[in-house]
Amino acid sequence: MIKAKIDKSYVQYLNGKRKGVERFLFFKFYPMIEPRTTIFVARKPEREGLNTPEWLAVASSLATIGLTVTL
């Protein structure tokens, strides 16, 4: 599983400038990696799954919507 948040990653050059991935429509332009550059990669936050009461709330909401649409 990938635990990196690629959208928030960037490269820091020796002169202190930072450059991340640039996007234009469907294209991505990655920064040039030069010798002695530092690459920073952000981590994705940990996610917890839904517990039983939350699943029951979702199920009852979907059931209510289903009954409302059919009537």
For each of the chain's 71 residues, which pLDDT tens digit applies? 567 777 788 898 988 888 888 888 989 888 888 888 888 888 877 777 778 888 898 899 999 998 888 77
pTM greater than the 0.75 cutoff: no
How many H helices and E strands in the chain?
A: 1, 5
CA distance 71 to 68: 5
Domain total of the chain: 1
Q: Where are the alpha helices (DSSP H) in the chain?
A: 52-70
Residue 54, pLDDT score: 87
DSSP state of 32: P
In which domain, by residue range, is 53 found?
Answer: 4-70
DSSP H or E segment with residue 24: strand 22-24
Which tokens go with 49?
A: 């799954």
